[in-house]
Structure 1
Amino acid sequence: MSAQVLVSRPPAPQTVPVESLPAHQVEVAYNTGPHSSSGLATAGFRTAKYLPEEWQQGNYTSYYQAFSDRDCSEKVRHEAKQLAAETEARAQRGQADATKKLGERLQDVNFWKCELGREIGDLAAETQLLLQQKGRLERALDATDIPYSIATDNLQCRERRVGGELVRDEVEVELLKEVELIRNVQGLLKRTLEQTVQQIRANRDAKETLEMDWSDKVEAYDIDDKCGRYNNQSTDIQFHPNSSKYEDNTSTPESWAQYSHDNIYKGERERMASINLRSLIDNILQDTAEDLRSQCCTVDSAFAKRCEEVEDAKQKLENHLTKTLEEIGGQENNIAALKQAIKDKETPMKVAQTRLYQRSYRPNVELCRDPVQFRLISEVGELTESIEFLKRKLEDSEQSLRNLEDTRMSLEKEITNKANSLFIDREKCMTHRTRYPVVLKLSGYQ
């Protein structure tokens, strides 16, 4: 690109001073001397005629003017040639320097473009990993529904125990702890899931900002690369007079680099927060799964222990029931024997009383209180006392039999209650608890 240089014509040289001319030319210049044309005869002709010296002087003036114009022209040509060469060299240097600057700019743009692309890739990979953790959280949260339904079903089943079996035992305490633990775990998983969703949104926002910056860098790189390929032989170049100005919304190299640096820093910050959150999710899922399984084992142990206690109590009750039934049989035989003994005393009583009755008919002095009379009266008294003793013992035996019957009924009822409790705990609850999820499922891997 050459610049047009306008060179103004130098002013005409001034007339040589008269004092510097030869003497005869001075006379001609002042119209003096022997050949002067002063006088009345020359009046009216002086303005149209020149003296030879004047003619000569005019020629000298023309010569000098021509020499001066040539010299000035040569100087102008030399200066113009030198200026054209200088401007050509300056234009080439400017174009080469601009091309070099474009190359340096392309390196800067490519550097930040690569940094942005690397951070976009890292952030996208981290977001994908966080999405996997989000899936684990959702699966783990869904998996807690089964333990919760099992625990609540166990509590509801154990409400159907009857009588003295409806007790707040260790199993119920541990089941209530399990229900509370599952609720706390579900609350923690829900809060962590919300935090994960927010972090994924933040990662995507940062990635979108980085992608927009990267896209701008790609477009700017293509434009600068295209500009760097322009040269004086390019066919698609033209004048753009209004392009040589600074736009109002332009940035400085420092603010330009700082903008990309801030975007990358924001992306790295969100990526590190995502990494920390993933580690936190791993710890939470592992801890909650272990806590749930530990509590499940505690409840199962309490169930097993309680079933052993109930089974032992049931066996003891059955043993007592067997002995009670045996005792009932013995007492019934005893009552029958007592009744028979009382009945057996009726005949001796009849004999003794008949003897006394018949001897009361002895005549006169024969009605004597002899030893026989005393013995018969004593025998009747002994028989009467024996019958009273037997009757009282019969009443006691019958009362004992009634007590044994009541005890039998109570034992049978307690045995039935124990059997019902065993059925609820062993067949219902413990069988249902076999469906309790394993640690992998509670950790969200399945």
Structure 2
Amino acid sequence: MSLSKHSPIHTQLKSKSLVVIPPPPARYTLTEWHLNNAYRERCCLDQQQLADSITAECERIKDEVDERVELNRKDTDRKLEERKLDIEFNTGEIKKQRKEVCIEVDNLKTYMERIKDCLESLKKNAQVMCQKCIILREQRIGIDLCCDDVEMELKKELQVIEGTQKMLGKALQQANEQVRRLKSTMYFMDRDLEDKGNVYKIDTHNSNLKHTSMNLSLYHGFTPLNRGNITLEEWEDFTRVNIEKASKEINSARQLRAYTDILIRQAIDDLLSQFHCVNGAFKRRIEEIKEIKTKMEIEHAEIMRRANELTRTITDLEKSLSEKEGYVALAHTRLGNRAQRPGMELCKDMVEISLVNEVGELRTNLARVQHMLAEAQASLRYLLKTQIQLEEDINVKTNSLKIDEVDCMTIRQSMDYHAF
């Protein structure tokens, strides 16, 4: 019976929703109530004291942070100003050194123009004139086409000119290289000045910024903002090295200019010395040729005088021979007539002996005169040949004098060695 009664009740509870009835509230004692109130009061007091302490600490921390922030800002501003002064000082030093470099570049370019002018003058004036003199003297003829002191001095002068050109060309190359190095130094200094100018603008802008300025921004990225990886010593060394390098190049340029001055002065002295040596050799040679030519002209006049006298002598001898033929004919005729004497009259009387002696002496004297006539004629031929040779030699000397005194010396008057 009990089982049958409980089954329908169980089935009915499943079909209906259940309602949970809370348990009755706990019951506390009065002591617990007083203790709880005291605890609550003590907690409130503790929290108030803690709040007052935290408030005081917050005020202290805030004041300390404000003071520290202000000090840091002022220190940063001061360091910004110091940094700007450092940049201004280095910039001034670089600009001062750059100005010196610019002046030295201009000075070197002026010296390069001097060297170019000197080379141009040597190439188009001195070398050409010297070569012309050598070529003109090749037009000498005969015995005068010899290797004399003038030719040796001219060749030496040409060697001096060519050697001077080589030295000046080398100096020009060195000046070009020095200008390139100075310009390279200027390039690095310009880059340094540009970078420092940009940094000065940035630091000036930063020094003008305040915490109340507009357009301030907070960075929320992950990359560090302090990207600087160069130490202050490296920064100072970089500028110092640029200035020292510029100073070194300036000193090198000044030494090169001093060397160029000495080189040009020495080259001018050597060229002038050799120029005077050549002119002296020309003058001595011209005087020597004139002296020889004068002697030849005197000898030529004497030869002509002697030839004229000898011609007159030959004429007299021929006339004398012609006259003596009459005496010979007279003696022969007398002998022939006396050979026709008859008989005993054909004897060697004094007349016969005198006539025979006269004929013999006439033959001897005529032979002597004819011998002398032949000698005189041969001497006259030699004199005329010598006269012709002297005339040729005089023409040779005249040609040499024209080449040396007129052509070459006129050309050498246009040779100009002056200090460039």
Q: TM > 0.5 between the two? A: yes
Deviation, 1:245, is 3.7
**Residue 106 (str. 1) matches residue 77 (str. 2):** no
2:4 alignment partner in structure 1: none
Q: Residue 115 of structure 2 contacts residue 168 of structure 2 at CA under 8 Å; is this kept in 1? A: yes
Kindly tell me the number of residue pairs found equivalent between the two proteins: 396
Q: Secondary structure of 1:345's partner? A: helix
User: Superposition RMSD on alpha carbons, in Å?
Assistant: 1.4
CA distance in 1, matches of 2:26, 2:54: 38
Q: Residue 317 of structure 2 contacts residue 369 of structure 2 at CA under 8 Å; is this kept in 1? A: yes
Q: Residue 328 of structure 1 contacts residue 405 of structure 1 at CA under 8 Å; is this kept in 2? A: yes
Please, which runs of 5 or more residues in structure 2 have no aligned partner? 1-22
Deviation, 1:239, is 1.0
Deviation, 1:49, is 2.9
CA distance in 2, matches of 1:83, 1:297: 98
Deviation, 1:438, is 3.5
CA distance in 2, matches of 1:350, 1:297: 77
Question: TM-score, normalization: structure 2?
Answer: 0.92
Deviation, 1:240, is 2.0
- 1:57-76 mapped onto 2 (5 Å cutoff): 57-76=35-54
**Residue 411 (str. 1) matches residue 411 (str. 2):** no
**Residue 371 (str. 1) matches residue 341 (str. 2):** no
CA distance in 1, matches of 2:215, 2:276: 82
1:329 alignment partner in structure 2: 308
1:246 to 226, 233, 236: 226
For 1:408, the aligned partner's letter is Q
CA distance in 2, matches of 1:264, 1:346: 119
- 1:195-214 mapped onto 2 (5 Å cutoff): 195-214=174-193
1:304 alignment partner in structure 2: 283
CA distance in 2, matches of 1:94, 1:158: 93
CA distance in 2, matches of 1:226, 1:283: 54
Please, which runs of 5 or more residues in structure 1 have no aligned partner? 1-43
Q: Secondary structure of 2:413's partner? A: helix
CA distance in 2, matches of 1:246, 1:227: 15
Q: Residue 181 of structure 1 contacts residue 292 of structure 1 at CA under 8 Å; is this kept in 2? A: yes
Deviation, 1:111, is 1.6
Q: Secondary structure of 1:398's partner? A: helix
For 1:439, the aligned partner's letter is H
For 1:110, the aligned partner's letter is E
CA distance in 2, matches of 1:206, 1:168: 56
Q: Residue 77 of structure 2 contacts residue 207 of structure 2 at CA under 8 Å; is this kept in 1? A: yes
CA distance in 2, matches of 1:178, 1:311: 25
Q: Secondary structure of 2:229's partner? A: coil
Q: Residue 129 of structure 2 contacts residue 415 of structure 2 at CA under 8 Å; is this kept in 1? A: yes
**Residue 348 (str. 1) matches residue 301 (str. 2):** no
**Residue 170 (str. 1) matches residue 149 (str. 2):** yes
1:128 alignment partner in structure 2: 106
2:371 alignment partner in structure 1: 392
CA distance in 1, matches of 2:144, 2:255: 51
Larger mean Cα displacement after TM superposition, 227-236 or 61-70: 227-236
- String of CA shifts for 1:153-209, please: whole Å, max 9, x gaps: 000000001011111111111100000110111111111111111111111011100
